[in-house]
Chains A and B, each alone.
Chain A
């Protein structure tokens, strides 16, 4: 079993809709959690860290469920510019593990 797993998608979502992704991690010793965004043929960039109490940044909300070992990302009122691949990232000690990403296409 992979240490970090994501649904690869693609998720095809109409503009203005709400979309949610989950990411599961297998090691309960995982300490920090992040969502990165990667545009086509570009480098990954941090979208948001995921705090234990959950956190929100504009249209984006991240949640952590330690009991079930998953994190989630919710995007409200989706924009065409949200089309990208979303990478789930987990830190365990000095090891940083990337998921393979979930592709999102926002449809006009």
Chain B
């Protein structure tokens, strides 16, 4: 069945550092890919998505590109802020969504 593997955390960075959170997937067909974020004390919310190969999703300075040849959807941000501290989940699917285990990011001032 479909699955998602993302890098384990926690990831600790200083403010303004570059962020990469790796995500790879296995899936039949051509599912959409997502990054969800869970801020402390809040519910999961969609951060960005891409629906087909080579699409780039972006939001709040975060980007991820749907790479079919490497089955990857790595999350990147050029300069993280303390307010980006959260748990990030990679997900794949169409109607039935499979989530990764989450990567906790902590950004230090």
B is a partner of A? no
